[in-house]
Amino acid sequence: MNMDKMTVSRARDFFAWASGQHTESIFTLLCNIGINCNFTSISADERLILDAMDAGPLRDQWQQRMEQPTPEDAAAFIRVFLQQLDDNVQLTRPPMIGKTEKKNPGEIWSGVSSGVVSHRTSNTDYWELHLCTEGETVYGTGTHQHLVKPGNVVLIPPGIDCSYLMNPNSGTSLHYWCQFDAQTHWQPWCSLLHEQQDLTILQLDSRDTGHLAALLQSDIDYAYPDDPDWFERAVYNRIEALLVELCALRPIPPPPLDSRVQSALSYIQQHFREDWGIVDLASHCHLSPGRLSVLFKQGLGSSPMSLRDSLRMGEACHLLLNSRKSIGRIGEELGYADPMHFSRRFSELIGQNPRQYRSNGYRGH
């Protein structure tokens, strides 16, 4: 099956699921397009997921176009479906252990290039532990930025507002994770769970990374009891064992990002809509443009301007799909004084011009 036919087939599967007519699980359908979500759970009621994402208006809006969809229509529908699923559905509550793998299956992802993977708000009242085994992600908390690479363990305490910005050069991302409330009897012995106001980033060697990943995978695959109380106890027992193993490995903090790279990254995230160049950014960081580019590449594996473009195009995609603003106005708001320059850059990074993108996926309000 060629890519166009596969995209249409996948879109029809998602539309059927949103219409309550598909026999496969939503997690199977996500896996078919390169998103592998696997976590411990008592069987999720997919009707609740449908209700949470408010699938009715989505079905009504796309009904006619999905009767005979073009490949462009199909890709646009999948993007809209995923955005609505991600924005509105909280699939997990602690305790939970899981694995999320994202690959790049081509055109389906052409409209979600913002780099922002997810966002955790300060209202979150539980701990998270992440283990990165593939890909690179920038974790941001306020003005502090942390580059997370394979072998890094991230501990996020309750009440921390945290964003996740995927490195544009990472084609695949694989994270194991668990969510939990810290149990009272853990506090005396688990030094990792002390009160703090930021993330804890730890570094494991390749052997210990593989060991911890295998433990997490075995925790996911474990045959948990169906009774909710016993399910929760079993998950907490395995999280406790995981924390014991992690403490025994004695991981060390990795070297932090260079403070000047931190400053540049924060500036880009806060000012990506504005019209500035590498000289302006370098001046802000008190560096020469060449020196800043070298440090940024060493720290993040990407250039400052490509990261800014990634953020701009993600915002442009959002505005094209969710507003009636003119293309010229959107380009102007994102720092492009020349509409032709904006259109050309958008086409280079997204694979179609802004007008085509809007007509293929517009969700007018």
Q: Quick one: 125 and 181 in the same domain?
A: yes
**What CATH number is attached to the domain comprising 332?**
1.10.10.60
Q: Quick one: 122 and 230 in the same domain?
A: yes
Structure tokens at 1: 């099956």
| Band (107; pLDDT cuts 50, 70, 90) | very low
**What CATH number is attached to the domain comprising 98?**
2.60.120.280
Q: Quick one: 231 and 268 in the same domain?
A: no
Q: Quick one: 153 and 133 in the same domain?
A: yes
Structure tokens at 282: 């370098």
Q: Quick one: 245 and 103 in the same domain?
A: yes
Asked whether the predicted pLDDT for residue 289 surpasses 90, the reply is yes
Q: Quick one: 297 and 216 in the same domain?
A: no
Higher model confidence: residue 280 or residue 111?
280
Q: Quick one: 67 and 46 in the same domain?
A: yes
Sign, Cα dihedral of 154, 127, 83, 269 = negative
Vertex 88, ends 83 and 93: CA angle to 5°?
120
Higher model confidence: residue 268 or residue 91?
268
Q: Quick one: 191 and 45 in the same domain?
A: no
Name the DSSP letter for residue 186.
G
The 10s digit of each residue's pLDDT in 87-97 is 555 555 679 89
Q: Quick one: 124 and 234 in the same domain?
A: yes
Is the overall model pTM greater than 0.85, yes or no? Answer: no
Among residues 73, 22, 7, which one has the least CA distance to residue 361?
Answer: 73
Q: Of 240, 256, 272, at which residue does a domain stop? A: 256
Asked whether the predicted pLDDT for residue 106 surpasses 50, the reply is no
Q: Quick one: 113 and 195 in the same domain?
A: yes
Q: Specify the length of the chain in residues.
A: 365
Q: Quick one: 200 and 156 in the same domain?
A: yes
The 10s digit of each residue's pLDDT in 12-54 is 999 999 888 877 888 788 877 777 667 777 655 677 677 777 7
Burial 98-108 (b: 16+ CB within 10 A, else e): bbbbbbebebb
Mean pLDDT of all residues in the chain?
82
Q: Quick one: 157 and 126 in the same domain?
A: yes
The 10s digit of each residue's pLDDT in 62-71 is 898 899 998 8
Q: Of 234, 256, 278, at which residue does a domain stop? A: 256
Asked whether the predicted pLDDT for residue 241 surpasses 90, the reply is yes
**Domains in the chain, number:** 3
Report, as an integer, the average pLDDT of 278-285: 94
Among residues 199, 137, 139, which one has the least CA distance to residue 174?
Answer: 137
Structure tokens at 175: 């994270």
Place of tokens 């027992």: 237
Q: Of 73, 91, 109, at which residue does a domain stop? A: 91
Rounded CA-CA distance 50/85 in Å is 9
Q: Provide the residue range defining the domain that includes 330.
A: 259-361
Sign, Cα dihedral of 63, 67, 68, 69 = positive
- The dihedral formed by the CA atoms of 237, 242, 244 and 250, expressed in degrees to the nearest 10: -170
